[in-house]
Amino acid sequence: MPDSTAPDRPRRRSLFALLGHLARLFTGRAHEVEVQGRTTADTPNPVPRELAWDDIPLQLPSDGVGPIFHRRYRVDIAGASHDAEGLMGLVKRDVAAFSPPELANFKKSRGVPGEMAVGDKYDITILGPWNGSVRVSDVGPTSFTLVTLEGHPEAGQIRFEMLPHPERQDDLRFQIQSWARSRDMLVSLSYNEVGVGKEVQKNVWITFCERVVEASGGRQVGEIDLLTEERKFEGEVMPLG
């Protein structure tokens, strides 16, 4: 006899997963530091000029409002069964597998499945009232960069990098860095003043880091470090190359 509840099971699993993520939003899963002003020398990559006027225009920091936030998520990995290029290859092959779909569901809408190239596009279903799309603006053996497109709740870019550890031979360091402003005042209020959007975003990228560690076959060393710099916006910080 057919199980009449079968169609509901995926929905129930999704609901339970969402409740689990919501329960973790305000729990300490990372060492977090928030500062005013610039404390690092990190800068965003130039964006290839030919990407600016594709089917959907880019949404750069100059299109946003309020301060620009530089956020850096960093996790160290020991005993990985992949080298930096191999592990980043897994991420580039299936970005969606590393993001919690209940909070930010990536779907590739342009480009070859299982590969990543400049100009590829991902549509993201985001928990809350705003969704968005991003375009790949840079791809290297151990890194890639996504730039926000018109309509995304943020205006800026996010870069993913797999690096050799600066002090421990054979260890890896995975980091995510973003430079972005809010798209408009309503998004700014939700993300930065009310804070719910900020916590959801934080959960997405912490989970992403945790899943990279899992995929590595190694183990996490220490805590995930999260640095947030709130900088005054002083003009275009993401030039077209």
Specify burial of residue 167 (Cβ count, 10 A radius: 0-12, 13-18, 19+).
Answer: exposed
- What ranges in the chain are assigned the alpha helix state H? 8-24, 84-93, 185-188, 196-216
Q: Is the dihedral of CA 43, 49, 55, 61 positive or negative?
A: positive
- The answer to pTM > 0.75 is yes
Q: State how far the alpha carbon of 89 is from the alpha carbons of 143, 162, 178, in Å.
A: 9, 10, 20
Q: Tell me the helix, strand and coil percentages in the chain, rounded to 5.
A: 30, 35, 35
Produce one character per residue of 100-133: b if its CB has 16 or more CB atoms within 10 Å, e if not. Answer: bbbbbbbebeebeeeebeeebbbebebbeebebb
**Contacting residues for 88 by C-beta, under 8 A, at least 6 apart:** 141, 142, 143, 144, 160, 161, 162
CA 196 to chain CA centroid, Å, is: 17
Domain boundaries, the chain: 30-231
Domain 30-231's class? Answer: alpha beta
Tens digit of pLDDT for each residue in 61-119? 999 999 999 999 999 999 999 999 999 999 999 999 999 999 999 999 999 999 999 99
Distance CA 74, CA 95 (A): 17
Up-side HSE of residue 208: CA atoms within 13 Å toward CB?
30
Low-confidence ranges of the chain (pLDDT < 70): 1-28, 53-54, 192-195, 235-241
